[in-house]
């Protein structure tokens, strides 16, 4: 037991089972219910993904920055989207003095089922990756629509930074959360965003999402 407590103190994480993590089944406000998600998935156009030509996420040194500056304050309330998601998804949140930014809190990570108590180990995931948006329709959008999509709170979830890096730009046929109990929620979020923006899916992607939605209670 002593070595386990030492690991928790050093890493800021603990392998707490899903049953004791109160927020792992959460979905952002506006996420489709199971029935509507299934109907919406069936209606998504199936298409071969486009090329990544022209896709540049980096905004430094005058680069293309095709989805706008990361974590834009879309509603002008002085609190950028990253801070809003952290405040929404974490518990025991403490903000930086006189500022919107979150300096501490606890995350019950939906992707792994672990509890993370160090904000530095948390990242914000675009459930539908921006590169995938680009390939499935966003390349043809006006820039302001891409900025809106990149900052849509329905597509943003606070998760383990390590797991977010592992996911990268993968689609559900290539990657699903290791925590299988989150498959239903993940599928619902993913379909919600694809349907909201009229994005296409591949057949493999659709099949993976159908499988995810079969796990819903």
The pair of structure tokens assigned to 33 is 């219910």
Instruction: Report, in this order, helix, strand and coil percent for the chain, each rounded to 5.
Output: 45, 15, 45
Place of tokens 């509507």: 36
125 vs 103: CA distance, rounded Å: 19
> What pLDDT does residue 24 have?
64
- CA distances, 197 to each of 49, 71, 141 (Å): 15, 19, 10
**Residue 161 and residue 122 in contact, taking contact as beta carbons nearer than 8 Å:** yes
What is the pLDDT averaged over residues 201-216? 98
Instruction: Provide the mean pLDDT of the chain.
Output: 90
The pair of structure tokens assigned to 46 is 């199936």
Question: Is residue 152 scored above 90 in pLDDT?
Answer: yes
Question: Is residue 7 scored above 80 in pLDDT?
Answer: no
pLDDT digits (tens, 9 = 90+) for 99-122: 899 999 999 999 999 999 999 999
Phi, psi of 149 (to 5 degrees): -65, -40
**Quick one: which H or E segment has residue 95?**
strand 91-95
pLDDT digits (tens, 9 = 90+) for 43-62: 999 999 999 999 999 998 87
Percent of the chain residues past pLDDT 70, beyond the cut: 89
Place of tokens 């390939």: 135
Residue 177 burial (CB < 10 Å; 0-12/13-18/19+)?
A: buried
> What pLDDT does residue 50 have?
96
Model's pTM, two decimal places?
Answer: 0.88
The pair of structure tokens assigned to 179 is 């925590």
SS3 211: helix
């Amino acid at each position: 037991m002593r070595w386990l407590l030492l690991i928790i103190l050093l890493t800021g994480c603990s392998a707490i089972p899903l049953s004791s993590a109160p927020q792992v089944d959460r979905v952002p406000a506006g996420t489709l219910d199971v029935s509507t998600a299934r109907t919406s998935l069936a209606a998504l156009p199936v298409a071969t993904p486009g090329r990544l030509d022209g896709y540049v996420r980096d905004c430094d040194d005058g680069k293309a920055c095709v989805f706008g500056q990361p974590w834009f304050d879309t509603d002008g309330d002085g609190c950028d989207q990253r801070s809003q998601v952290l405040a929404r998804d974490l518990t025991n949140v403490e903000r930086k003095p006189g500022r919107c930014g979150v300096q501490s809190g606890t995350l019950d990570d939906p992707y792994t089922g672990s509890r993370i108590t160090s904000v530095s180990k948390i990242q914000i995931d675009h459930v539908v990756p921006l590169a995938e948006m680009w390939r499935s329709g966003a390349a043809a959008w006006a820039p302001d629509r891409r900025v809106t999509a990149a900052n849509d709170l329905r597509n943003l979830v606070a998760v383990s930074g390590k797991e977010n890096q592992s996911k990268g730009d993968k689609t559900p046929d290539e990657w699903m959360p290791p925590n299988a109990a989150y498959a239903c929620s993940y599928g619902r979020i993913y379909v919600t965003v694809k349907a909201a923006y009229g994005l296409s899916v591949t057949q493999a992607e659709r099949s993976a999402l159908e499988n995810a939605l079969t796990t819903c209670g």
